[in-house]
Structure 1
Amino acid sequence: MITRLDLFSLKLFVDIVDLGSIGKGAEKNFIAVSAASKRIADLEHELAAQLLQRQARGVAVTQAGLAVYKGAQETFVQLQRMATEVDEMSSGRRQPVRLYANLTAMMCHLPDAVASFCASHPTIKVDLHEQSTATTLKAVSRGEADIGIVAPIVPYPDDLQRSRYQQVRLAVVVSSRHALRGRGPVTFEQAAVYDFIGLDSDGAWDRMLGRFAQERGCAFHVRVRVHGFDAMCRMVASNLGVGIVPLPVAVQCAASMDLCVLSLDEPWADVPLDICTRAPELLSEGARLLLDHLRRHGNVQRAAPQPPVSLLHWPSATAPAAALPL
């Protein structure tokens, strides 16, 4: 039976489960809906099990379907690794290492770490992409990215390994004309009295601050949304609102903009960043070399899996690695 399974049908099935719709899965794979339905029916016949439950709106995966889904994902990861190794052997060159990272990591120390790696490993190309934490976790789990740098703001998939990479200090930035200028440490409640400059509505940054506001019972109003921390600082310099940004970004922007940098007096002001990968045996040699390099430069330790916790309970920089929440 195993030899009769069709890889295209398995890929189609995985896409249908991810998208929750046969129609959307068919569209992604450029086939008609009727052809997609026929392939899924044939797959269910070969496995002698119902994989999907057809509903009025989309489909739901059965327990048997979930087992096929996870097995197919692992199969495609292995096939991709095999294809990469064969290509490297036949072409005499290594495939790029795909590194996804959130905006905080991209704006702080990660670019320097990647640059030093590329300088010491000139035959290995690193494709670095800025992606949200949720997108990165999904990409790494599915083998679409080799390494991810994320913040623990959403649950991590069970099939990923994770290590603490760095902690980034947050700061409050205001215009030199703002009422908070010259103040000492500022709490979130004190800053939330004023309008905020936020990031894209689909990003995790505003959701993070919104959750802080909800748990503290204070207001949080975003006046302007922008696409990055540099643009946020420019809006703040024009006195359109208050911003919370990584300290390295605040210091850099204050050197060229009309900004005041204030200390953020909150227990969650140290944002942890984690490295996530699949099992080491699933990584290419280049990915393993980059992973080791990032761990050395980030001075990380293996972090034990922990249950999800409130963002307000991020540990301080002095907390032992084993106690860090993931």
Structure 2
Amino acid sequence: MITYLNLYHLKYFAQAVELGSISRAAEKNLVTHPAISRAVSSLERHLGVELMEHQKKSFKVTEAGFLVAKQARLLLAAASYFNSSSLTSPSEESITLCIGISKTLSEIYLNTLLKDIKSKFPKAKAQVRFGTTAEIIEAVAKNTIDLGITIGSQNLPTLKQSVIKTEKFMLVESAKAGQDREEIKAKSFILTEPRYETALLRKAYQKQFAQALPVLFEISSWEVIGQLVQQGLGVGLLPDISIKHWNKNSYRILKPAWFSSEYEVYIHHSKASIQNPVRQYVLHALVTKV
């Protein structure tokens, strides 16, 4: 039959070594001197080594004893976290889910998502952080948010990323601009900071016209680009999802044969096991819709 070390015996011995006295260890634990001595003897029998030099009026710890005391302290520290509270599921009142998302995607996903969370977990709390793809992924990696929903992705070893939708980028201009519908070569463009799709457009334009793409502005916000496009300031490269709620008479989509670019909507979360039922619900709800 397998027997295991008694944690109280380990505690008594480790404290005796720390305090340099069996009597002091007995006082600290409100037990008798013989109780500590019996605990040490029990450990010695179990481990098959002498932990102390057993001499009257002498407290000398052997080399093996010091090693056991060191390991005992580590074991006791770990055991202090293993209690009933660590085994129970968090109450719904204590659950908070922090979501990172771009404002572009929030128009499509956020309203429905928050309503679902409120319906399934009425006492849980949801927090929303807006940012760029890079900012959101970094926040998930640092565990400052629980889930990130982005257009595009970055491969990080600590994160799991799932595609939840595939759509297209569009070249969009105001319906007021270029009433004569001049050739695309004569137009100026408004892009985000360098990304895969912007690099693809620049390369395709260079190949088609043997000149660099005329970029009027670089702005790290599809929402702002959309506003400038609607004011007639240039052609914007925008995810189709961002123009879903525009007045259909307010814009025109350009479809040059030489350019096409798809994008993927990703949901990001840590690979680490996290006890958060709201997070698990959202992951399942979004990923299974693919």
Common fold: TM-score over 0.5: yes
Q: Is the 8 A contact 2:103 2:223 kept in 1?
A: no
Q: Distance in 1 between matches of 2:86 and 2:228?
A: 45
Matching of residues 85-164 of structure 1 within 5 Å: 88-89=90-91, 93-154=93-154, 156-164=155-163
For 2:95 and 2:258, the matched residues in 1 are separated by 43
Alignment of 1:298-309 (within 5 A): 299-300=289-290
- How many aligned positions are there? 202
Q: Report the counterpart of residue 165 of structure 2 in structure 1.
A: 166
- Mapped to 2, the partners of 1:283 and 1:182 lie a distance apart of 56
2:246 is paired with a residue of what secondary structure?
Answer: helix
d(CA) in 1 for partners of 2:184, 2:244? 18
1:229 corresponds to which residue?
Answer: 222
Superposed CA offset, 1:166-216 (max 9, x none): 123322221224348879xxxxxx7565211234xxx5xx43344114433
Counterpart residue number, 1:284: 276
Equivalence map 1:1-326=2 (5 Å) = 88-89=90-91, 93-154=93-154, 156-179=155-178, 191=184, 193-199=186-192, 203=193, 206-216=194-204, 218=206, 219-226=212-219, 228-255=221-248, 258-263=250-255, 269-279=261-271, 281-296=273-288, 299-300=289-290
State how far apart, in whole Å, the 2-side matches of 1:164 and 1:210 are.
21
Q: 1:198 to 1:214 in 2, by over 3 A?
A: closer
Where does structure 1 lack aligned partners over 5 or more consecutive residues? 1-78, 184-189, 301-326
Structure-2 separation of matches of 1:141 and 1:254: 38
- 2:98 aligned partner, one-letter code: R
Could you tell me how far 1:227 is from its partner in structure 2? 6.1
Q: Is the 8 A contact 2:99 2:128 kept in 1?
A: yes
The structure with the larger Rg is 2
Match of 2:124, SS state, is coil
Task: Please tell me the residue identity of whatever aligns with 1:95.
Answer: I
What's the TM-score, normalizing by structure 2?
0.57
The sequence identity of aligned pairs, in percent, is 15
Q: CA RMSD in A?
A: 3.6
Once the two structures are TM-superposed, the CA of residue 271 in structure 1 deviates from its matched residue by: 0.9
Specify whether residues 157 and 171 from structure 1 end up closer, same or farther in structure 2 by C-alpha distance, changes over 3 A only. Answer: same
Q: Report deviation, 1:85.
A: 9.5
Q: Deviations over 1:265-295 (max 9, x none)?
A: 5775321111121236224222112222222
1:174/1:180 contact within 8 Å kept: no
- Contact kept, 8 Å, 2:230 with 2:250, in 1: the verdict is yes
Query: Structure 1 pair 173/137, CA: closer, same or farther in 2 (3 Å)?
Result: same
> CA distance change for structure 1 residues 262 and 129 in 2, over 3 Å: closer, same or farther?
same
Distance 1:173 1:215, change over 3 A: closer
Q: Distance in 2 between matches of 1:264 and 1:123?
A: 51
**Are the equivalent residues in 1 in contact too, given 2:141–2:159 (CA < 8 A)?**
yes
CA contact (8 A) 2:152 2:265 kept: yes
Q: Do 1:233 and 1:253's aligned partners in 2 also have CA atoms closer than 8 Å?
A: no
- SS of residue matched to 2:281: helix
* Deviations 1:107-164 (CA, angstroms, capped at 9, x unpaired): 433443333333333222221222222222222222211111234453x111212211
Q: Is the 8 A contact 1:146 1:283 kept in 2?
A: no
Distance 1:151 1:209 in 2: 11
Equivalents in 2 of 1:274, 1:266: separation in Å? 27
Alpha-carbon distance, 1:264 to partner: 6.6
| Post-superposition offset of 1:99 | 1.1
Give the letter aligned to residue 204 of structure 2. Answer: R
